Amino acid sequence: MRLLSDRGYLYDASTLPTYIGPLARAYYFSISRLRRDQKAERAVLFGSLRDGLRPLRPYLWRLEGERRLLEMPVTTFPVVKTPFHLSYLHYLCRYSERLALAYLGAAITACRLTGVEPSFLLHPLDLMGGDQVPQLAFFPGMELPSQRKRAFLVKVLRRFGEAFTLVDMSTHARSLLARDTLSVREAVPLGSASAMARRPRR
């Protein structure tokens, strides 16, 4: 976070408030062909159960020298904290596109009811299937053809556009900072036991 601030970044958007990180990591290890040492290097991949305690709404990190950095968490389903960004929707599409869109619709409704403005995560592989990059066919959703994944993205964005105004991250960040209503949290070293014990400060 300090490095981002030193380089002039306006915000960070890397936190994922969800409880299913260990489950996602176990699934990834089960379908990949990683060696034991490679798995050890990725021991904290997707986070821990405690990440589910992180807030969904944006807040400010208080850094050294009274500097601050906006944190814009990747939005998960309010209350239950399950992810609904495109990679997970593509995974549901393996079984039923209707199911994936219904889950998305429920998540969007929950965001509106709780006043959460979604930050929707996109990965490069969300637009590519195993037909384009067979080497990465073990990733979830890669069995879907690239054309189908791109067509599904259009449907997803339309659903979001019906409920929210779609903007880029920088525009959203500036809008949040202009409100001056964000809570402030003390930045702590990554992996610190006190990281989730800090109370928000106004």
Give the integer Cα–Cα distance in Å for 141 and 124.
12
The pLDDT value recorded for residue 48 is 72
Give the integer Cα–Cα distance in Å for 115 and 56.
10
Give kind and range of the element (H or E) at residue 12.
strand 11-12
The pLDDT value recorded for residue 75 is 95
Give the integer Cα–Cα distance in Å for 199 and 181.
16
Give the integer Cα–Cα distance in Å for 51 and 59.
15
- pLDDT greater at residue 200 or residue 183: 183
Average pLDDT in the 48-54 region? 81
Under 8 Å between Cβ of 184 and 59: yes
The pLDDT value recorded for residue 35 is 79
Picking from 127, 121, 44, the residue whose alpha carbon sits closest to that of residue 76 is: 121
The pLDDT value recorded for residue 28 is 67
Q: Which tens digits make up the pLDDT trace of 143-188?
A: 899 999 999 999 999 999 999 999 999 999 999 999 888 999 887 6
Q: Which tens digits make up the pLDDT trace of 30-50?
A: 767 777 787 777 777 676 778
Q: Which tens digits make up the pLDDT trace of 83-124?
A: 999 999 998 998 999 999 999 999 999 999 999 999 999 989
Q: How confident is the model at residue 189 (pLDDT cuts 50, 70, 90)?
A: low
The pLDDT value recorded for residue 179 is 87
52 pLDDT above the threshold of 50: yes
The pLDDT value recorded for residue 196 is 38
- pLDDT greater at residue 189 or residue 134: 134
Burial (CB count within 10 angstroms: exposed 0-12, middle 13-18, buried 19+), residue 85: buried
